[in-house]
A and B are shown apart, each in its own frame.
Chain A
Amino acid sequence: MTRPERLRAALRGTPRAEWVDAALTAAAERPETIGRSFTQAGRRAGRTPLPGVPGWTADEAARALLLAALPADRAEAEIGDLYRHGDADEKRAVLKALPALAAGGALSSAAGLPLLHDAIRTNDARLLAAALGPYARHLDQAAWRQAVLKCVFMGVPLTAVDGLEERADRELAAMLAGFADERAAAGRPMPADAAALLDRLTREES
């Protein structure tokens, strides 16, 4: 099953499935309805963790499915608007939906990149973490390294970073080493996951 299919199947088991089904039909046929349904998804679909789909809540799944239900010619513009006008939960749901939207053809491959840059600029750890999922492969290496270092700086666990092991490079190691020096000078600890990453990168190099 694809990600949207799994989310849809998991939502069918929730008490609010009827609202979700109606909202999805409306989004496909009358895309202008998504403004309200997307905003109301938390109140209508609930916010509990979705059984069988780790890391997703019911509202996030409903929002991801709403975006995927949009007609192809409206998707890109609506997705941008919903992110721009969203509260933090809505923004996070858009970010989490990006990989599946690109895979499903609703977004041309890197069209969501400005949203990632916006999320990484914020100081909201939840948005930063959501921006560093699989879609972050579209970030150039310099922006990606800065975002990883920002995770370390803000205490976001590095498990949030998709593809960390493959993408971490010598330059990131140098930045982490610099950060470790600053922390040591200040007498403050380096987060354990960042220290372990630095250790691995340094060993690989030697």
Chain B
Amino acid sequence: MRIFDPHIHMTSRTTDDYARMAAAGVLAVVEPAFWLGQPRTGPGSFTDYFDSLIGWEPYRAAQFGVVHHATIALNPKEANDPRCRPVLDLLPRYLDKDRVVAVGEIGYDSMTPEEDDAFERQLDLAVEHDLPALVHTPHRDKAGGTRRTLEVVAASGIAPERVAVDHLNEVTVGMVRDSGCWTGFSIYPETKMSPPRMVEILRRYGLERMLVNSAADWGVSDPLLTLETGRAMLAAGFTEDDVDRVLWRNPVEFYRQSGRLDLTGAGADGDQPTFAGSSIKRGGS
């Protein structure tokens, strides 16, 4: 089974995770910029974070044969802090980088006017930079938030097939399918979505435009729940080709719209191609 995790926050994970993921067939990941648990207080800590997403993290991933790309944005939660708003003006520089394959995560947290503005401006940036958009849906008032999300996406003029709306569940999947956007599901140990529920959704709605991710971060989460979902699909009678479509070809198809997806090195032994830093793997002296 080859797996492309289209949404995972590797900055918060250890090398043990990279090793387990590579062994399980997770050969490519996209890491969306998001908040870090601790609110930031100024643009400088965002740019250091963004630099890490396009510098250190892909390098770290490559040691394990995992190909790493990023999405860059001011997340909805921190869009509400006036000290962080200047980040919006710094985004164009990052949205031009080789390994940036979408604008994201954008969308709503508490559905404030500030979030409206940041969401709209960043959808415009996606269009200007010819990038897809990765849209987070709120944890509270999810159905209302998702409905409003789809209205803002439609009004922005971005093509729906270039938008993935994420963290969906049984209640929100239908309206997003109808919109023509891609549907993303975050498989979590306790919250959001579980492998058996995911299988039911795939049965009901089909495999087209379906994205399954672990959204693993610094909270209770598991980077191998994509694999678990693949196994649950097989156990439920889906074919290996079905699993490959959902867990590999679909995310490739979505992010390939950026024109920047480069899967060279997926599955390679990180030590083989160059001297590309055995230091992390070896742990130093």
A-facing mask of B68-110, CB < 8 A → 1, else 0?
Answer: 0000000000000000000000000100111100000000000
| Residue B59, interface by CB 8 Å | yes
CB distance from B92 to the nearest CB of A (A): 9
Residues of B within 8 A of A153 (CB): 279, 284-285
| Residue A124, interface by CB 8 Å | yes
What residue in chain A is nearest B97 (Cβ atoms)? A87
Q: Which of B1-9, B180-188, B245-253, B270-278 contacts A (4 or more CB under 8 A)?
A: B270-278
Interface size class of B (residues with CB under 8 A): 20 to 34
What residue in chain A is nearest B280 (Cβ atoms)? A123
What residue in chain B is nearest A151 (Cβ atoms)? B275
Select one of A87, A129, A155 contacting B98, CB under 8 A: A87
| Residue A199, interface by CB 8 Å | no
Q: Which of B27-35, B50-58, B116-124, B211-219 contacts A (4 or more CB under 8 A)?
A: B50-58
B-facing mask of A94-128, CB < 8 A → 1, else 0?
Answer: 00000000000000000000000000001111100
Bound-state Cα–Cα, A74 to B279, Å = 38
| Residue B189, interface by CB 8 Å | no
| Residue A35, interface by CB 8 Å | yes
CB distance from B2 to the nearest CB of A (A): 24
**Do the beta carbons of B285 and A155 come within 8 Å of each other?**
no
**Do the beta carbons of B58 and A88 come within 8 Å of each other?**
yes
Q: Which of A10-18, A38-46, A140-148, A164-172 contacts B (4 or more CB under 8 A)?
A: A38-46
Known: A39-B96, A40-B96, A124-B55. A182 touches B285 (CB 8 A): yes
Residues of B within 8 A of A39 (CB): 93, 96-98
**Do the beta carbons of B277 and A124 come within 8 Å of each other?**
yes
What residue in chain B is nearest A155 (Cβ atoms)? B278
What residue in chain A is nearest B260 (Cβ atoms)? A43
| Residue A56, interface by CB 8 Å | no
CB distance from B26 to the nearest CB of A (A): 22
Known: A43-B98, A182-B285, A183-B285. A124 touches B275 (CB 8 A): no
Bound-state Cα–Cα, A39 to B93, Å = 9
Select one of A36, A43, A88, A186 contacting B59, CB under 8 A: A88
Known: A88-B55, A88-B58. A154 touches B277 (CB 8 A): yes
Bound-state Cα–Cα, A42 to B59, Å = 17
Bound-state Cα–Cα, A158 to B259, Å = 37
B-facing mask of A26-43, CB < 8 A → 1, else 0?
Answer: 000000000110011011
Residues of A within 8 A of B276 (CB): 125-126
Select one of B93, B259, B279 contacting A85, CB under 8 A: B93
The contact sample of 29 A-B pairs, CB cut-off 8 A, is: A35-B93, A36-B96, A39-B93, A39-B98, A43-B98, A43-B260, A85-B93, A87-B54, A87-B98, A87-B99, A88-B54, A88-B55, A91-B55, A122-B56, A123-B277, A123-B279, A123-B280, A124-B55, A124-B56, A124-B277, A125-B274, A126-B274, A153-B284, A154-B277, A154-B279, A154-B284, A155-B279, A179-B285, A183-B285
Q: 10 nearest interchain CB pairs?
A: A125-B277, A154-B279, A155-B278, A87-B54, A39-B96, A88-B55, A42-B98, A124-B59, A87-B97, A156-B275
